[in-house]
């Protein structure tokens, strides 16, 4: 007999911390934050839980942007903006609606379309500021 997933302290804490973050962290970022409250947790546990939470639809996992996975507790559809310098990813609202173009692209390519997303790429305010400071020091 197969039982459902269990809500362990680890899983709960990981979810909580992810929800409290205002950007889309990597597994490692989550690991370090969670470890402040639960020092003996392992990185493997963090990965396993993020995977489980994503599989059950509680969080979202996405794989654009560099080589690292990013995680997101906010399920409503939205697009992202990414900093090319530090890799930070933020939400962005008000991007163009792609539903019309989705239909057109499906017809054009023969793909069965499951979705589309816009990624804006740039330098975030913190990195702009840091670049300015570095210049002044020269």
Could you list the residues that contact its own copies (CB under 8 A)? 63-67, 69, 81, 83-84, 90, 92-96, 98, 101-102, 104-106, 108-125, 128
In angstroms, give the least distance from the CB of 89 to its own copies.
11
How far apart are alpha carbons 27 and 42 in whole angstroms? 11
129 interacts with, out of DNA, its own copies, none, CB within 5 to 8 A per kind: none
99 interacts with, out of DNA, its own copies, none, CB within 5 to 8 A per kind: none
Closest-CA residue to 20 (of 69, 72, 62, 76): 72
Interacting residues toward DNA by CB under 7 A: 1-11, 26-28, 38, 40-45, 47-49, 51-52, 67-69
**Residues 6 or more apart from 75 whose CB is under 8 A from it?**
57, 59, 60
Q: Under a CB-based contact definition with an 8 Å cutoff, are residues 118 and 98 in contact?
A: yes
Q: Under a CB-based contact definition with an 8 Å cutoff, are residues 43 and 27 in contact?
A: yes
Cβ distance to its own copies smaller for residue 73 or 98 = 98
């Amino acid at each position: 007999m197969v039982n459902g997933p269990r809500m362990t302290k680890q899983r709960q804490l990981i979810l909580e911390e992810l929800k409290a973050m205002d950007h889309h962290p990597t597994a490692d970022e989550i690991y370090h934050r969670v470890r402040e409250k639960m020092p003996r947790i392992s990185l493997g546990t963090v990965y396993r839980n993020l995977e489980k939470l994503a599989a059950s639809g509680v969080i979202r996992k996405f794989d654009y942007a560099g080589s690292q996975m990013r995680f997101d507790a906010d399920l409503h559809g939205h697009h992202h903006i990414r900093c090319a310098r530090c890799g930070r990813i933020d939400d962005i609202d008000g991007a163009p609606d792609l539903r019309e173009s989705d239909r057109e692209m499906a017809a054009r390519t023969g793909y069965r379309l499951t979705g589309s997303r816009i990624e804006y790429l740039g330098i975030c305010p913190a990195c702009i500021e840091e670049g300015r400071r570095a210049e002044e020091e020269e």
